[in-house]
């Protein structure tokens, strides 16, 4: 291993130097000269739905080679439709249903391999993939994969340098360990729903599966840290995160308020419990968010160039943020009355550039057509083999000022099975035999 490490250190490419610093294996399935941060990292991805696929998608944008292992029926979200991407004429695998929009959002740049893990030959393939993998990611109920021979203790014997990441609902220990994790359930059980919704209304869920997404990000950061540790020790690591713990960790100041001061939280809608005015306000034809976060901003808001209410500045009820919090309803009702005389577009023109944090409430179409979204190229168009040209949200990070491009569209089921099996030494005849024996399709 030491000789191999010295050999790697001798390389002059930037990607080679990265790999030397992490003591990783030679490049696999990447273009020569690719210098993206994770080029050459091999990830075996046994996740489905959203939390796990989000974690592996975060790895694949900087060019890790993510091999998505799917059952013959595929990731559950493939058929979570409508809506779905319509098939083009002559699309491959016409026997498969169209890929759902849901599946497309978290599986770009990955390669799909179908393996029936109940089949002994398929398990041999899986072990062969693990032998030189850098990372293995799974999101099964704790104990499930051990029955298949794919637990941490089992796989580290095959590959002692493997980073093994488990994404669970509640963690691998404790009374809820065996319970499956669902975003909406965790939102309820771990406090988020309690603080989401209007003050006098019922609890509501967030508009996207935010707990799944947050957990995926926590998993990614854990994997990256483990890769750096391996560069120092040469040994693999078991990484674990759960929806339950991720949601509690991201209660942020609300959680800290309880832990430090024993202060229970409540729902505030779009309002802030400690700052006024700081909420969504209705206008003549819609809504907008206004955040007067300090006394200076409040004075600007009341000035002749915006609300034109200088008398509020001399009113003791509104003189400080503390007094505005005490007299919240009086002030909010007064602001609503003023805003009711102009449209959202008119108020946007009035407030823009005046130093007040504000924004109209945009729908999704307005969001993607926002001039800043266009300038920052938040959407990328790629060619999908079954759906033709599709649009996908781009990565939200740049490297040296450049966004990582989508170099593969989200795969159709089993699209890369033969390709990947050939890379690990299977002949065409052997692949056909695996298909006929039910190991793959």
pLDDT tens-digit series, residues 223-262: 999 999 999 999 999 999 999 999 999 999 999 999 999 9
pLDDT on residue 13? 39
Judge whether residue 23 has pLDDT over 60: no
pLDDT on residue 35? 74
What's the rounded mean pLDDT across residues 175-183? 95
pTM for this predicted structure:
0.89
Q: Where in the chain is the domain with CATH 3.30.1540.10?
A: 278-360
pLDDT on residue 281? 98
The answer for residues whose C-beta is within 8 angstroms of residue 104's C-beta and 6 or more apart is 85, 390, 392, 410
Helices (H), 34-138: 51-60, 101-104, 120-131
pLDDT on residue 34? 72
The answer for residues whose C-beta is within 8 angstroms of residue 141's C-beta and 6 or more apart is 168, 169, 178, 179, 180
Judge whether residue 219 has pLDDT over 60: yes
Q: Which CATH architecture has domain 2-250+413-436?
A: 3-Layer(aba) Sandwich (3.40)
Q: Where in the chain is the domain with CATH 3.40.50.10540?
A: 2-250+413-436
212 flagged as catalytic: yes
Cα(183)–Cα(187) distance, rounded to whole angstroms? Answer: 6
pLDDT on residue 311? 96
Nearest residue to 397 (alpha-carbon basis) of 206, 209, 221: 221
Tokens, residue 263? 């202060």
Q: Write down the catalytic residue from 212, 314, 315, 333.
A: 212
Give me the percent of the chain exceeding a pLDDT of 70.
93
| CATH no., domain 278-360 | 3.30.1540.10
């Amino acid at each position: 291993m030491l000789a191999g490490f010295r050999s790697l250190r001798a390389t002059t490419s930037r990607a080679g130097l990265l790999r030397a610093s992490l003591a990783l294996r030679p490049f696999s399935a990447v273009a020569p000269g690719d210098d993206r941060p994770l080029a050459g990292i091999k990830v075996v991805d046994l996740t489905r739905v959203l939390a796990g696929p989000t974690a592996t998608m975060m790895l694949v944008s900087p060019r890790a080679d993510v091999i998505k292992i799917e059952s013959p029926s595929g990731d559950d979200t493939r058929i979570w439709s409508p809506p779905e991407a319509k098939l083009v004429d002559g699309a491959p695998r016409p026997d498969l249903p169209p890929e759902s929009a849901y599946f497309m959002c978290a599986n770009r740049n990955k390669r799909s391999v179908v393996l029936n893990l109940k089949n002994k030959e398929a398990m041999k393939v899986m072990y062969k993939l693990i032998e030189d993998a850098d990372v293995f990611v799974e999101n099964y109920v704790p104990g499930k994969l051990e029955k298949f021979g794919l637990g941490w203790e089992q796989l580290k014997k095959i590959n002692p340098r493997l980073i093994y990441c488990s994404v669970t609902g509640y963690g691998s220990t404790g009374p809820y360990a065996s319970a499956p994790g669902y975003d909406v359930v965790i939102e309820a059980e771990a406090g988020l729903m309690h603080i989401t919704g209007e003050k006098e209304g019922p609890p509501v869920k967030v508009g996207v599966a935010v707990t799944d997404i947050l957990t995926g990000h926590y998993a990614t950061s854990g994997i990256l840290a483990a890769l750096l540790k391996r560069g120092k020790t040469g040994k693999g690591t078991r990484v674990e995160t759960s929806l339950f713990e991720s949601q509690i960790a991201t209660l942020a100041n609300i959680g800290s308020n309880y832990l430090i001061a024993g202060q229970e939280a409540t729902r505030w809608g779009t309002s802030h419990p400690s700052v006024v005015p700081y909420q969504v306000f209705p206008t003549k034809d819609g809504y907008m968010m206004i955040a007067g976060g300090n006394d200076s901003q409040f004075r600007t808001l009341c000035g002749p160039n915006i609300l034109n209410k200088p008398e509020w500045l001399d009113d003791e009820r509104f003189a400080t943020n503390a007094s505005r919090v005490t007299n919240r309803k009086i002030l909010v009702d007064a602001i609503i009355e003023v805003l009711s005389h102009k449209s959202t577009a008119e108020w946007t023109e009035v407030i823009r550039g005046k130093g007040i944090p504000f924004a109209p409430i945009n729908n999704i179409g307005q969001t993607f057509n926002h001039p800043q979204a266009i300038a920052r190229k938040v959407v990328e168009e790629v060619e999908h083999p079954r759906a033709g040209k599709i649009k996908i949200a781009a990565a939200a990070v740049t490297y040296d000022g450049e966004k990582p491009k989508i170099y593969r569209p989200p795969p159709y089921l089993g699209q890369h099975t033969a390709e990947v099996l050939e890379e690990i030494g299977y002949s065409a005849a052997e692949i056909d035999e695996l298909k006929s024996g039910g190991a793959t399709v």
